[in-house]
Structure 1
Amino acid sequence: MTQLTLLNLKIAAAQFVKAMSGVPIPDLFGSTDGKAVGTYVEQAFNHYLRATYNYIPGNAALGIDFPDLNVDLKVTSIRQPQSSCPFRDASQKVYGLGYHLLVFTYEKFDDTTTRTARLDFRDAIFVTREKNR
């Protein structure tokens, strides 16, 4: 299996959001909880990556989604952007987070006929830690 690199991650992110856009998702029908959508997308993206790449996934204790690459993933709605702030203190706002961010933005639609949700991804943005400094 191929080792996951920053370049592979960026390419896979673009492919993932294209593949996932418009796919019916019964588990998210009626959900207005952005955290539930974010968790679903993060798990789906990790599943997508594991099929091709070798990497160590992050966990809550590490506080970052891709620790070997120093990348954290954020998934947020364009209608109601994520309200949680990744900054621990004011100096991080000025000098940066110290890690890269991969941001997926989406718009969610519910189909009452099929009782499924659909996520239309708008962007997969990679923000280098250097841009945060």
Structure 2
Amino acid sequence: MKCKLSIEALKMEAKNFCEKQSKINHKLLIGITDGKAVGTYVEHLFQEELSRKYDLQIGNSAKGIDLPGESINTDIKVTSVRQPQSSCPFRSARQKIFGLGYNLLVFVYEKIDTEDTCTLNFLFCTFIEKQKTADYTITKRLIEMKKDGANKEDIIGYLNDKNVPGDEIIYNDLATEILSSCVEQGYLTISNALQWRLQYGRVIQLDNKIEGITNYVWKY
């Protein structure tokens, strides 16, 4: 009987997966330059490996994230080290300030092709707890503003200056929530687009210095 997947087991399986897959010839990816195709390939490989060992829920596009189980609640992101970023669905403007609402597991690879081989060197693997998935710059400044005694109008002005998506009603609601609740420091860079654009350059380099973010780093 398979055991239930836990967050700690997920992190360990991700680390082991990176070490194992970095030693394999991924022939199906020879000559493939489409980052989305590489990402889908890696995600499916990892999900299949987890499914063989654990009792877990695998997501689909309707559920929105890859591992939607209540105790796991994690989306898998796979990105090239040349530009470590990806997109995710836009749900509301508050995600920039209070986090995406789910954990992230980020695989960062270097792809090396020859005529008959494809190597995926996984250079970074980072698990980011959901409370750390807000925008770094915006949360940093909001925390400072609250300490300095900012009022609702100050907060609304800042949200407007930073082009946080929304109208006057959304800004007013966000300002009320920001002033009445705790804003945690986020570590992603989240750019506005039709979908959120998540950039991982900062977070993958943290070297386990931040509680709630687990980093594995390899040198080849």
| TM-score between the two structures when normalised by the length of structure 1 | 0.91
Counterpart pick for 1:111 among 114, 117, 128: 114
Aligned to 1:27: 28
TM superposition shift of 1:124 = 1.2
TM superposition shift of 1:83 = 4.3
Structure with greater contact order relative to length (CA < 8 Å, sep ≥ 6):
1
Partner of 1:107, secondary structure, is strand
Q: 1:84 to 1:22 in 2, by over 3 A?
A: same
Alignment map for 1:49-60 (pairs within 5 Å): 49-60=50-61
Partner of 1:60, secondary structure, is coil
Partner of 2:120, secondary structure, is strand
Does structure 2 conserve the Cα–Cα contact (< 8 Å) formed by 1:104 and 1:123? Answer: yes
Q: Structure 2: give runs of 5+ residues left out of the alignment.
A: 134-183, 185-220
Alignment map for 1:53-132 (pairs within 5 Å): 53-68=54-69, 69-112=72-115, 115-132=116-133
Alpha carbon RMSD of aligned pairs, Å? 1.4
Over alpha carbons, which structure has the higher Rg?
Answer: 2
Q: Structure 1: give runs of 5+ residues left out of the alignment.
A: none
TM superposition shift of 1:116 = 2.3
Q: 1:47 to 1:102 in 2, by over 3 A?
A: same
Does structure 1 conserve the Cα–Cα contact (< 8 Å) formed by 2:105 and 2:128? Answer: yes
- Which amino acid counterpart does residue 19 of structure 1 have in structure 2? K
* Greater share of residues in strand: 1
Distance across 1 between alignment mates of 2:107 and 2:92: 24
Does structure 2 conserve the Cα–Cα contact (< 8 Å) formed by 1:87 and 1:93? Answer: no
Partner of 1:84, secondary structure, is strand
* Aligned residues between the structures: 131
Distance across 1 between alignment mates of 2:16 and 2:7: 14
Percent of matched pairs sharing the same residue: 50
TM superposition shift of 1:88 = 3.7
